[in-house]
Chains A and B, each alone.
Chain A
Amino acid sequence: MAIVFHIPGALREFTAGRSRVEIENPATTLADALSALWTIYPGVRDRIATEQGQVREHINIFIGQENTRYTGGLATPVAAGSEISIVPAVSGGCEDCAMPGGDVG
């Protein structure tokens, strides 16, 4: 069975408009699964991860209903049929990101 990615609107520009991407891949961890995703759609990579390979601070990645931030991060196991959702943080993330530094002192 394939791994299924749910792509948020902001990133569909980089997935040929697809909101759902299925990948046949024997990935065992979230890191493997993401690598497989951006081998196909490379533009997604820098939106989700920093140049040092960390998932961005205000991006959450869920496997099923579980936020992988609390289940081992990139090492979280992925099984065939896993549904992976990429979701920007709802409140704090957005505002935290928008406001810092206006008037740096």
Chain B
Amino acid sequence: MIGQILGHCRILAKIGEGGMGTVYRAYDEVLHRDVAVKVVNKDARLDPSSSQRLLHEARASSSLAHPNICTIHDVGENEGEFYIVMELVEGKSLAAMAEVGGLAPESVLRYGVQIASALARAHDRGIVHRDLKAANILITNEGLVKVLDFGLAKQAGSGIFEGPTRSFATMEDTSSVSGTLPYMAPEILSGNADDHRSDLWALGVVLYEAASGRLPFEGRTGFEISSAILREIPNPLGPPVPPGLWAVIQRCLAKEPIQRYQRAGEVQAALEAVQSAAIVSPDPAAESTQPRTTILHSVRHAHVRKGDFLLLVGTTKGAFILRSNAQRTRWDVGGPYFHGHNVYSMAFDSRGGRHRIWASTQSYWGTLLRSSDDFGKSWTNPQQAPIRFPSDTGVSLKNIWQITLGRPDEPNVLYCGVEPAALFETRDAGESWSLVRGLFDHPHRPRWMPGNGGLALHTIVLDPANTQRMYVAVSAGGVYRTEDGGSTWTAQNQGIRVMFMPDKYPEFGQCVHKIALHPDRPERLFLQNHWGLYRSDNCGDKWTDIANGVPSDFGFSVVMHPRNPDCVYIIPVESDEFRCACDGRLRVYRTRNGGASWEPLARGLPQKGAYETVLRDAMTADSFDPVGLYFGTRSGQIFGSRDEGRTWQKIRDGFPSVLCVRNAVVEDGCVGLTPPATKPTAKHQTKGRSKSRTRRSSR
């Protein structure tokens, strides 16, 4: 072979051999460059159709211009011999470099980012590697990664690429299966359909091997290796491997493809995050010695007594507590708390005898979930943000849009809906929070699109009758429902129109603004969409348009009457472009027949030049009889009605832009004088009535 011409390449020297064929160093005499030429073994029994597919795929792969992908220049046949002309890469294989005890974590991260980047490019072009392994990854003398043999394995007939390696950097024993089998994903071994996520599994194996010098799944025979891949959990990698890197590897090695990263770009981002996380050095011992509570001395407080009625008002410049009694005629105001911060979500938690106010704060110093057990005199100010995305996600918290209490019989459970869209859960009253992976890993998530204010999960609704069922709403992703307590989620958007996509009724992607459920009819939901008002009578399986006689079906908030499941309140705004009360007339609309018709409620509200906007969480209903309703506007006015919306009064104005309004009745004890920074110690006997009266009102 040496000295022969293949195409316009003169073969100079043999540099490697593998199961597929032999690799030579060659010189392209037309383009005057050094190349590598891989000649397929004649005994590979390439049938004509396999040959055609291989040619086709090699040509497709040659389009993958990427600095970390070894470029294929040409493919051809010469007297029945099939050959591939490719970029000549001088370096060592990752397998050889990792052989002795693994590489430094910095190197693993540096190479891992490049491999993931190469996979991302190929996958974007629809090309799956299918034989990624350390021996197929070369590291040049400059530290640049080159991934070899992209897309070749798929099209290879069974007789061609069965050998352990096709790399010309290492020459492995062709008689054993150990070359490739250890990188195979469980779904391949099980004979199930494989896709680009099988490459991400292989990447996990490569990273494990590079970090430790060992394969994650080992065995003396092919059977033992296969069993390990299908059933075993690899030995954990401890220091010096940083926990973040180990977390990325573990997620790549999830047995179920759906549990892995869904895209190579996500792996790349997660590895980059671990690289830069070198500046984050948690020191839990130091944390416990630091104060966790901020006592506010210079802020005016509301002195809260038993029987008081509270409005919790979150604004763009902080939170306020408006205090009154059951008459709701005189109000005093505590605050502003969190001076200058956005407060998108508040909640009052009276479960388990607490009097806890929750608030989310967002500023240039980050986003925190905070709480007060003494009606605002002191607030937790945790050293470490309690809600945070795990490092393997590569994602950072931008905002907390919703705080939702768990069910009454689980007083330590809370949920938070956040931006970027995700759901967090605590089961220990907020001491620790975890990302709900079932939703975060949903295959739709990468295709959710941000709305006007970002990609937010802003609504969480629990089914009171079915403890496993729960709904969330995402702008713009739509409604999702779980029937198994959060492990799996399905899109529930059938019948909801979108105006901003070619398909007006897609499976998901709807910009849902709010959903509400009535506890007496938990199968029924009401929904305010970005254009469109809907009702579902079957847990979101289908939605029916109920915009019958409203001046506009654009709006944000939907609030249920606490006792009448046919009664719903909304505040329409004129349009997407002009998000103000229709015709400058501030009117609440009410249906008392499940949406068959709507009536305006305007008495006492400004009806001229009132270009007001009421946001999705800025209206609330109390549990008095008759029901009281309250809402805040972007212009900082708070209005209330004590007679189910028939007449309205302005409670206060002059607030910053109102983001959320919640209400609570304080049932137990004189708690206004609770000493700061301590939690109430009295054991409150929680009565059923107390619970329902202090329950967060429907949204």
Contacts and interface: CB of A to CB of B under 8 A. Distances in A.
B383 A46 contact: yes
A104 B475 contact: yes
B399 A47 contact: no
Interface string A73-105: 010000000000000110001100111111111
Interface stretch (B82-90, B98-106, B151-159, B281-289): B281-289
B396 interface: yes
Contacts of A101: 344, 399, 401, 419, 452-454, 456
Contact of A46 (B344, B385, B394, B579): B385
Contacts of B286: 39-40, 42
Given A38-B283, A51-B396, A102-B634, 17 more contacts: A14-B290, A31-B279, A39-B283, A40-B286, A42-B286, A42-B287, A43-B287, A43-B381, A52-B273, A52-B277, A52-B395, A53-B279, A54-B396, A74-B276, A101-B452, A101-B453, A104-B451
Contacts of B226: none
B394 A52 contact: yes
14 contacts: A13-B294, A14-B383, A39-B283, A40-B286, A43-B382, A43-B384, A54-B396, A56-B364, A74-B279, A89-B364, A101-B344, A105-B451, A105-B452, A105-B530
A34 B279 contact: yes
Nearest to A88: B364
A89 to B, nearest CB: 6
A88 B385 contact: no
7 closest cross-chain pairs (CB), A and B: A101-B453, A104-B453, A53-B277, A58-B364, A50-B396, A43-B383, A51-B388
A89 B615 CA distance: 28
A93 B279 contact: no
A41 B475 CA distance: 37
A102 B657 contact: yes
A46 to B, nearest CB: 4
Contacts of A13: 291, 294, 381
B453 A97 contact: no
A21 B530 CA distance: 50
B362 to A, nearest CB: 7
Nearest to B395: A52
Interface residues of B, number: 58
A96 B366 CA distance: 13
Contacts of A53: 273, 276-280
Interface in B381-411: 381-385, 388-389, 391, 394-397, 399, 401
B277 A46 contact: no
B342 A97 contact: yes
Contacts, number: 141
B221 to A, nearest CB: 42
What DSSP secondary structure best describes chain B's contact surface? Answer: loop
Given A31-B278, A39-B286, A93 B364 contact: yes
A7 B252 CA distance: 40
A104 B316 CA distance: 14
Contacts of B556: 103
Nearest to B451: A104
Contacts of B115: none
A103 B276 contact: no
A23 interface: no
A6 interface: no
Interface in B241-287: 273, 276-283, 286-287
B365 A51 contact: no
Contacts of B452: 101, 103-105
Interface of B: 273, 276-283, 286-287, 290-291, 294, 316-317, 340, 342, 344, 362-366, 381-385, 388-389, 391, 394-397, 399, 401, 419, 451-454, 456, 458, 475, 511, 513, 530, 556, 576, 579, 613, 615-616, 634, 657, 659
Contacts of A100: 453-454
B273 A43 contact: no
A49 interface: yes
A28 interface: no
Contacts of A49: 279-280
A11 B397 CA distance: 20
Contacts of B401: 101
Given A39-B281, A74-B276, A47 B396 contact: no
A35 B281 contact: yes
Contacts of A99: 316
A10 B280 CA distance: 20
B530 A94 contact: no
Contacts of B458: 104
B453 A46 contact: no
B511 A51 contact: no
Contacts of B613: 102-103
A46 B401 CA distance: 19
A35 B383 CA distance: 15
Contacts of B383: 14, 42-43, 45-46
A47 to B, nearest CB: 4
Given A99-B316, A101-B456, A105-B451, A51 B290 contact: no
A104 B454 contact: yes
Contacts of B395: 52
Residue of B277, B365, B382, B576 with most partner-chain A CB within 10 A: B365
A99 to B, nearest CB: 7
Nearest to A98: B316
A35 B286 CA distance: 13
A2 interface: no
Nearest to A40: B286
Contact of A10 (B283, B365, B419, B530): B365
B616 to A, nearest CB: 8
Given A101-B453, A102-B316, A104-B458, A46 B276 contact: no
A97 B399 CA distance: 10
A94 B364 contact: yes
A57 B363 CA distance: 11
A42 B290 contact: yes
B389 A43 contact: no
